[in-house]
A = this chain, B = another copy of it.
């Protein structure tokens, strides 16, 4: 109860340092890939020695995990209308994808680096798996609903198809992060078309048995 201003118990020195490390990581990730960032740099950015870094985080990857968890909310936000709806609702799908794409343009390096480090770093792999499973589960349920209602054709098991869609999104987004993005808007449009086809595109031409 002895705060300088009215705020109770301002952030301790340690809290601020921790934030500084996180902030430094964000800045560095905007400039270069995760693999090229060293703990020295992280520590220097927060104006502490390298050994002090370990007081706050166990490793570089632990910083990444913290950053990642901060993104979880944004990653699933905006997909509700699409995932909870039914039928080929193009607009809902587009807005879900637009949100995702925007996030990738600002945090591509973090996401790409994390994904690359996932095998060999259980916490990251787990984070990814959780997120993937959540998306796949909801999308698979949507597929089942649509199929039961006769809105979507039969096809691969819902969970498999949903997984493929999740994979495709990631791969496509990761690809644009690597190369220059071929205009984010167009890419979303294309993804919308492709995902709708994967879900609803029945084959018009069945090869006649001779």
Contact = CB atoms under 8 A, between A and B. Distances in A.
A175 B182 contact: no
B203 A88 contact: yes
Interface string A170-210: 11100100100010000101110110111011111101000
Given A160-B182, A163-B175, A190-B160, A198 B200 contact: no
Given A190-B156, A190-B161, A197-B198, A175 B167 contact: yes
A71 interface: no
A31 to B, nearest CB: 15
A172 B178 contact: no
Interface stretch (A7-15, A16-24, A43-51, A112-120): A112-120
Contacts of A163: 175
A127 B163 CA distance: 27
A87 interface: yes
Nearest to A163: B175
A168 interface: yes
B90 A156 contact: no
A33 interface: yes
Interface in A25-81: 33, 35-36
B203 A204 contact: no
A134 interface: no
A103 interface: no
B88 A205 contact: yes
Contacts of A36: 120
25 contacts: A33-B119, A33-B120, A36-B120, A87-B205, A90-B207, A116-B119, A155-B194, A156-B189, A156-B190, A160-B182, A161-B194, A164-B172, A164-B190, A164-B194, A167-B168, A167-B171, A168-B168, A171-B171, A194-B198, A197-B197, A197-B198, A197-B203, A200-B204, A201-B201, A201-B202
Closest 10 CB pairs of A and B: A201-B201, A167-B171, A156-B190, A197-B201, A171-B171, A168-B168, A197-B197, A155-B193, A116-B116, A160-B190
